[in-house]
Structure 1
Amino acid sequence: MQAFCTSVAVLAFGCIAAGCAAVHEADCAQGEQRSVSDVLYFGTSRAAGTITSAQWSGFLRSAVTPRFPEGLTAWPASGQWRTAGGAVVHEASFVLILVHPEDDTSENSVRGIIGEYKSRFDQEAVMRVKGHACVSF
């Protein structure tokens, strides 16, 4: 029985690893360009008061646009999360999508945006969801 369980676990891990590799190394169709799609979630609550739309616009203008002048998409959102004590906390937020080449310059730019937001607005974290995409216009 233990050998069966071990075999199932190895098979499951292999399938998961292969699935991740397949997504990561996906080929794009003709006319599409392989890119990275980053979705960043920025909270707005802080001790000094909620981050306003005007402050967010200023951040986009000074910290994001210079790093990604080719374009971006952003919108206000509403999120929630559960505390360690089980309470559900609701928080206004902003979402930013950046589609860019998979290179060190872009990676450093995304990390710079996250770091600057955390520093400027006294935030503990910015959630980043990074994936690969095939892009065409």
Structure 2
Amino acid sequence: MRAVALLLLLAACQAGGAPPACPDGTGPAAVAELAFGRNGPDGTLRVTDADWADFLAEEATPRFPDGLTSFDASGQWRGPDGRIAREPAKFLWLVMPAASLEEAHARTKPVAEAYRRRFRQESVLVVLRGTCATFQGS
């Protein structure tokens, strides 16, 4: 029983954002992964590739001028009626060296909110995690 309690305590500490012990040559970083659905409520494409490029240039790049990664994805979710809806999506991957999870959240929240407003989307999935990172060869 004590072993289970200790494992739960260790898991809670790690989940709470305690920085990882990073290997030599790397440092702590926060990673944010954002998934943006592209369809409207009627299931038709609402956000074109040109719309996405404009959004990146106007909203994401100014907030993350040091770099970001964007790629196409396919998403699915269960609607209130119980049916599975599938839609094309865009994925934004952000690595923020030396940032806490709180900082990462504060920096990504305006991007998600801007997308929701601009394209009348219900939500944007945001995943935050702590990790170690480096640029090899730099």
Q: TM class, shorter-chain normalised?
A: 0.7 to 0.9
Q: Find the residue that maps to 2:62 and give its secondary structure.
A: coil
Greater CA deviation, 36-45 or 25-34? Answer: 25-34
- Cα 1:14–1:125, aligned 2, differ >3 Å: closer, same or farther? farther
> How many residue pairs end up in the alignment?
129
Question: What is the aligned-residue identity percentage?
Answer: 29
- 1:64-83 → structure 2 map (5 Å cutoff): 64-83=60-79
- Equivalent residue for 2:107, pick from 79, 102, 109: 109
The Cα RMSD (Å) is 2.2
Q: Does 1:97 align with 2:89?
A: no
Superimposed CA distance per residue, residues 3-30 of structure 1 (whole angstroms, 9 cap, x where no aligned partner) = xxxxx5x864542331242463321111
The one of 41, 45, 56 aligned to 1:60: 56
Match of 2:123 in 1: 125
Q: For residues 83 and 28 of structure 1, do their structure 2 counterparts lie closer, same or farther at Cα, with a shift above 3 Å needed? A: same
User: Are the equivalent residues in 1 in contact too, given 2:32–2:104 (CA < 8 A)?
Assistant: no
TM-score by length of 1: 0.82
Structure 2 segments unaligned to the other structure (5+ residues): none
Match of 1:16 in 2: 8
Structure 1 residue runs of 5 or longer lacking an equivalent are 1-7
Larger Rg: 1
